[in-house]
Amino acid sequence: MYPESEILFPSRVIPLLEDLRGDEWRQLVGKVKKLPETHVDALAFSMMMITIGGCLTCDLDSYRASLGCATCAKRTIGSFKGTDKVLKKQFEDARKEVSAFIKSNDIQLLKPEKNGNGHGNGNGNGHNKEK
């Protein structure tokens, strides 16, 4: 029904956002896009996008859902009124929040297999844990 719409911001969209802003943003996205989706920085990036993109208020009946997550995320970043420095600060704040949550709940994140990138390509068995 709708093109590639998911419940929350999908990490597969991160690489599509790289060239939408200046150097500071490009460096951040360039770093995060290489990480497995279970890495703290990838989780923090997704959390930042969920917050600024309003993913929690998106539903199947919304215009945003009809666009799909990739288009919505591109529009969100392209129309963001703040500077790259503000976006980087939001990312750093999200990273602190994610790290604190992981630590306070004693969560162990999965490590990707050596050949896998953590983006659901089937190269890992999901049994390795990172503390």
Model pLDDT, residue 64: 84
Separation CA 75–CA 120 (nearest Å): 25
Model pLDDT, residue 113: 64
Model pLDDT, residue 76: 96
Model pLDDT, residue 112: 67
Separation CA 22–CA 5 (nearest Å): 27
Average pLDDT over residues 46-55: 95
Judge contact between 55 and 49, C-beta under 8 A: yes
pLDDT at 128 over 80: no
In 3D space, the residue among 9, 5, 124, 19 whose CA is nearest the CA of residue 59 turns out to be 5
Q: Place 52 in a pLDDT band, splitting at 50, 70 and 90.
A: very high
pLDDT at 121 over 50: no
Separation CA 31–CA 17 (nearest Å): 12
Distant-in-sequence, close-in-space partners of 24: CB < 8 Å, separation ≥ 6: 84, 85, 87, 88
The torsion region of residue 36 among left (phi > 0), alpha (psi -120 to 50) and beta comes to beta
> Given the structure tokens 């969209």, which residue do they identify?
13
Q: Place 110 in a pLDDT band, splitting at 50, 70 and 90.
A: confident
pLDDT at 124 over 50: no
Q: At 10, which amino acid appears?
A: P
Q: Place 59 in a pLDDT band, splitting at 50, 70 and 90.
A: confident
Beta bridge partners of 129: 110
